[in-house]
Structure 1
Amino acid sequence: MDIAHIPTPLGTAKIEGDENGLSKITVLDGEETITDVIPETLEDAVYQLQEYFKGERQEFSLTLNPEGTDFQKRVWKALKRIPYGKTASYMELSKLVGDVKAIRAVAAANGKNPLWIVIPCHRIIGSDGSLTGYAGGLHRKKWLLEHEQPVKQQSLF
């Protein structure tokens, strides 16, 4: 398994994968040594994440290989259908998965998403529009949702 640590506006991202695809992307709170030489298998992921943070990429075209149950993978696939700049509720995500009664299981699978940003679990909000739990912290979720908004608030000063 190849690993790279890259800086992002939200902390150091740890990227893991191999020739079969990306298996995990997480954001870390602690100080990590930034990878000097990115493994070839992770170069495209690093490049696309950097484009995303610069506001130059809205969709990822990467080979993904996350570990999870079949149900979790169905939920993660449904998450990828939520467009950049949009949000959905857990109920809407349950409908995308095809089982509105599985809302708790869908929420749990959302929380187990191993591919930060690339599988956009940050786009899931409460039915009332509130920010709900996020493994990376609500401050990061808020930042990501604001980053994806088409109109940026300009400073007057």
Structure 2
Amino acid sequence: MRIRKVTTADIGLLCPVFVDMERHYEGAGAIGEAEVRARLGRFLRSGHGIMLVAVDDGALGILSMFEMFPGVALRPVWFMKELYVAERARSRGIGEALIREAAKIVVEQGGSRLDFTTGRDNSGAQRFYSRVGAGEVECVVLRFDEAALARLAQQETELLPE
């Protein structure tokens, strides 16, 4: 197995992992391969963030992360959006290998930390992250969902007088 950065040439390689991930999280109504190809292609062509893939005879797992600025002392902070290992490849050290490669990149880029979230009810993920050295921080996660974003985008901003 090896881990490397993803390129647009990897879309076909990654599709099975993303379809698996969507079914894992969303169930039977998950999006299909054609939509995965389109969305993944758009993301990879955008140049936003870094995506890693663990591969052997196919894709085993992915990790995506993004640099954010500013962080503490104006150093970058990275955010890991997704770490997913295909069901067929779990319990082989692939998640840990992906995290280690991400850590190398963050350190090389001068980052001060790697932040991420997991579901409060996802005790398996919490045990895994704790085992590889992550610490839990007190934080309130807020979100504008799709409907809230649409409302905000349509509203006019009125500035208050000085």
Fold agreement, TM-score > 0.5: no
Structure label with greater radius of gyration: 2
Q: TM-score, normalised by structure 2?
A: 0.25
Task: From the two aligned structures, give the one with the greater helix fraction.
Answer: 2
Q: TM-score, normalised by structure 1?
A: 0.26
